[in-house]
Amino acid sequence: MREFSAPQALFHHVSGLKSSDKSIGLVPTMGALHEGHLSLIKKAKEENDIVIVSVFVNPLQFNNEGDLSGYPRTIASDIKILVSNDVDILFAPSESEMYPSRPSISIQFGELANVLEGKFRKGHFEGVGIVVGKLLHSANPDRAYFGLKDLQQFLLIRKMCEDLSFPVKVVGVETVRNENGLALSSRNLRLTNNGLEIASNIYKGLKIVQSKILSGESVKEIKNQVIRFYETTDGLEIEYFEIVDTINLKPIETYYELDELAICVAGYVDGIRLIDNLYLRLK
Ligand code: AMP
């Protein structure tokens, strides 16, 4: 595996690969790699000649100092995982290589960034937009892979690439879960064993919504019941829980005429913020 830390060196190397007609897949990550990341890598390997994985904990997208300083950093074991999964290139820039100076531009995503995560994590998506823009410029991939666990992020990045004509296909990959349904996340490393048990109720709530939608109950009734389920789960503190359309991510009142919807939730366990969602096709 080749390793790069300077954006220009990566760009130069990729230009050489592209001139010999190699297709490039990019998997952006913040490291502490798990099976969720590996499913993105697997898909990228299936669809491209060369796979680049980036590992960079982006300070710009954290709106909470404790969350940033406590974010797991496991680069030595990440490298082993990447090598054993036949990844071609690791791009792991330092903070100063990525941000020689603090960016003065800002990216406004509009309405789509003001709901769900955007409502509770001010500035988060602006930071994501800047780092993904930089990664796409440096790696110049044909395809970039994002997890649908971060559904809003996926939709925003896809829109950004369309709006700014990035010549890249943005590919969404299904969420990987543990045996209890808990979505894998680097943040799970910070949970206690008891916390892991409690956190699996996040997905249980989503599955309750799914079964109630399939049996035709009203949105209002479903929301009341699931909010009660979450409220009575000790150790779980829900930040938001919404049933939304998949275009604007706005809360819906009925779903009878929709083709698809998403159930989105964020909450805290052991003081760690976790998110999850379920994407439902109705027709
Ligand atoms: P992160 O390192 O948490 O920033 O995640 C890097 C990429 O992996 C993002 O596109 C995430 O959406 C994706 N990802 C994280 N967890 C999972 C998961 N459990 N299943 C699938 N993709 C995931």
How much is the pTM?
0.97
Distance between Cα 220 and ligand 1 center (Å)? 31
The pLDDT, as a whole number, for residue 226 is 98
The pLDDT, as a whole number, for residue 180 is 97
Q: How confident is the model at residue 61 (pLDDT cuts 50, 70, 90)?
A: very high
Protein residue closest via CA to atom 5 of ligand 1: 29
Residues forming the active site:
37
Q: Which two tokens stand for residue 278?
A: 């379920």
Atom of ligand 1 minimally distant from the CA of 149: 12
Which residue intervals of the chain are DSSP H helices? 7-19, 35-47, 65-69, 75-84, 95-98, 117-120, 124-139, 151-163, 193-214, 219-231
Share of the chain above pLDDT 90, in %: 99
Burial of 205 (0-12, 13-18, 19+ CB in 10 A): buried
State whether residue 117 is helix, strand or coil: helix
89-95: average pLDDT: 98
Which residues have any ligand 1 atom within 6 Å of their CB?
A: 29-30, 36-37, 39-40, 146-147, 149-150, 173, 175-176, 183-186
Cα–chain-centroid distance for residue 100?
Answer: 25
With the most atoms of ligand 1 within 8 angstroms of its CB, the residue from 27, 29, 56, 74 to mutate is 29
pLDDT digits (tens, 9 = 90+) for 137-171: 999 999 999 999 999 999 999 999 999 999 999 99
With the most atoms of ligand 1 within 8 angstroms of its CB, the residue from 37, 145, 275 to mutate is 37
Distance between Cα 76 and ligand 1 center (Å)? 19
1 Cβ contact list (under 8 Å, min separation 6):
79, 82, 83, 87, 88, 89, 90
Atom of ligand 1 minimally distant from the CA of 33: 2
Q: How confident is the model at residue 224 (pLDDT cuts 50, 70, 90)?
A: very high
Atom of ligand 1 minimally distant from the CA of 175: 20
Protein residue closest via CA to atom 10 of ligand 1: 146
Protein residue closest via CA to atom 13 of ligand 1: 147
Share of the chain above pLDDT 70, in %: 100
Task: Look at the chain and count its residues.
Answer: 283
- The upper half-sphere exposure of residue 52, i.e. CA atoms within 13 Å in the direction of its Cβ, equals 29
Distance between Cα 215 and ligand 1 center (Å)? 31
